[in-house]
Amino acid sequence: MTEDDLRALSWGVADHVGEAGAPLGERFRGLAADVANASSLGLYQYFRTHQAAVTSLAAVRDQAGRATTGLNGASQDYLGLAGDPRVTEAAKAAIDRWGAHSAGSGPMGGRIALAVKIEDVLSRQLGLDWTCLFPTGWAAGYGAIKALLRPGDHVVLDSLAHNCLQHGAQASGARIHLFPHNDLDGLERRLARIRRDDPAASILVITEALFSMDSDTPDLARVVEIKARHGAHLLLDVAHDFGCLGPGGAGLMAEAAGSYEGVDYVIGSFSKTFASIGGFFASNDEGALRAVQAFSGSFTFSNYPIPAQLGAIRAAMDIVFSLEGNERRAAMLANVRRLRDGLVVQGMATLGRPSAMAIAVVGSEARARLAYREILVQGVIVNCIEFPAVRRGESRFRIQLSPDWRQAEIDRIAEAVGEGLRRADRLDGESAGQRLIRGKLALPAGE
């Protein structure tokens, strides 16, 4: 292999964080060069551009302009509502009634009556009295934490907590403590130590109901017990389970404990199950809501969700929290179980529990990139996840299915992933690697 070939398999964005003092005009030229090199060789898995609406079939172009048409296991549309006519027509109707733009932040007149209906549904489904909407789920997580915490407080996070949660904690100025992923004994030890050393401290525990890179969940009922025992508060991120898992779509907290009683603050997203974009904060504490509205820059200084977003969310909610929603959840889980079983047959390990995503373990970044390209060759699109989104050397494929997939399509994805990995593993010598890199093996359709 040439130096460029090897670089395309080994580089990562973490190589280009940049050193303090480096001129801004020069700091990231290496990053641009690595992206261009990997893209030219078909080994850059990001920024696919869809050429049509998101469905189980997709037509995409990569950064180098190569076209691929195939089965789409990469889109976040957990209950298959992104193209549902009831949802798309509701988005259009919202524009017709309220216009294209909300034309302001929440405090400054951007909120429309449709948002109140969405907040009412959230309150009813979560059993929490006070809710507000954010432009994105990331903004909700970051903004809520930064608004609630102050220097001198303590925040205790799962070590794999989402980027928005970690950045919110850092921005708050609170003292940060991490506990090993889903290790609740570790959580208890940290809380006991904090309470011993700082008896009057305010402590916020932060975790997720479902971790999307591992498809796993903590013992949520025990989390509530532990935080209560140590006089802490709990913020729970429900982005990946609310609406698509749990009884009636109420999420894994409702599955584990029957309700959200004992959860002080909930944040979530509309971009996974509810066919739109946006986020939310919910609590039984009116003071917390007013603090989030007053002190969260990502709420106060961001434009409010636009009418089309809100129309889609409201229509999706009618489906999600209905008998049809129950049927869609059951079908989605059946599809994911079939895919997980198929991946195991192909010799792969899967992580976590059945959810809206199947996580297939790959290993090294080089293996994942080679396999990703070979999967594309076969007309299948999946998400290739690597460091820093996951730990170095623990790359994986995240495959997302909606309820409408056919069994033959699911089996085809499992077969393509297995074959892609086998081909990647055969390309372990320099000559074989050069055959792949230089295109003597087929490139995706449209090259």
Domain containing residue 165: CATH number: 3.40.640.10
18 has pLDDT over 50: yes
| pLDDT level of residue 26 (50, 70, 90 thresholds) | confident
Q: Determine the structural domain holding residue 413 and report its residue range.
A: 37-72+323-437
Is residue 4 assigned to a domain? Answer: no
Out of 305, 320, 335, pick the residue that ends a domain: 320
Average pLDDT over residues 51-77: 92
| In a shared domain, residues 48 and 106 | no
Looking at the fold, whether 121 and 250 belong to one and the same domain comes out as: yes
Pair 47, 93 in one domain: no
Residue where a domain terminates, one of 293, 320, 347: 320
124 and 248 housed in the same domain: yes
Is 366 found in the same domain as 332? yes
Last residue of a domain, one of 265, 286, 320: 320
Q: Is 438's pLDDT higher than 70?
A: no
- pLDDT band for position 445 (cuts 50, 70, 90): very low
Into how many domains does the chain fold? 2
- 19 is a domain residue: no
Residues 206 and 219 grouped into a single domain: yes
Q: Can you tell me the mean pLDDT for 307-312? A: 98
* Residue 157 in this model has a pLDDT that exceeds 60: yes
According to the model, what pLDDT value does residue 1 have? 65
Under a CB-based contact definition with an 8 Å cutoff, are residues 58 and 75 in contact?
yes
Share of the chain above pLDDT 70, in %: 95
111 and 232 share one domain: yes
User: Could you tell me if residue 382 is inside a domain?
Assistant: yes
The whole-number pLDDT of residue 154 equals: 99
pLDDT tens digits, one per residue of 238-248: 999 999 999 99
- 119 and 262 part of one domain: yes
- The 10s digit of each residue's pLDDT in 174-197 is 999 999 999 999 999 999 999 999
Q: Which pLDDT score is estimated for 20?
A: 73
Q: Are residues 288 and 395 in the same domain?
A: no
**Residues 279 and 346 both lie in one domain:** no
